[in-house]
Amino acid sequence: MHRHKTGALIEASVKLGALASGRATPEQLHALQMYARAIGLAFQVQDDILDVESDTQTLGKRQGADIARDKPTYPALLGLDTAKAYALELRDQALEALRPFDAAAEPLRDLARYIVERRS
């Protein structure tokens, strides 16, 4: 389910950018797809973590809203510490997917890091 939310939008954005360049090889497109899937899921995991740890003002939405609506969340399913470790693992998977790329992919690397470090 989570891959069909924000993750799908991130994946589409990354793939469209690569396709628009006109230079992406099939291997590069596959690597970017793996990257996008990892950061899309990392975004959702971090969002679930913030729903537990942050406050309404910082989040810009009601803190605890997912739990109040009985939505399954990664901290509820895995525990908070394991959810945090999973977000970091997904970040590392995303960075690994970008290994074949040169410095031009640094903004994508920065995005992967930001997604799991963000506080809102």
* Structure confidence by residue, pLDDT tens digits, 34-72: 999 999 999 999 999 999 997 766 666 777 776 667 788
pLDDT, position 82: 98
Residue 14's alpha-carbon distances to 4, 38, 55, 65, 98, in angstroms, are 15, 12, 31, 29, 12
This prediction's pTM: 0.87
Query: Per mean pLDDT, which range of 21-30, 61-70, 81-90, 100-109 is the poorest?
Result: 61-70
Element (H, E) at 109: helix 106-117
Q: Which domains does the chain have, with CATH numbers?
A: 2-117 (1.10.600.10)
CB contact at 8 A, 98 and 31: yes
For a pLDDT cut of 70, what percent of the chain falls above it? 88
Question: How high is the pLDDT of residue 59?
Answer: 67
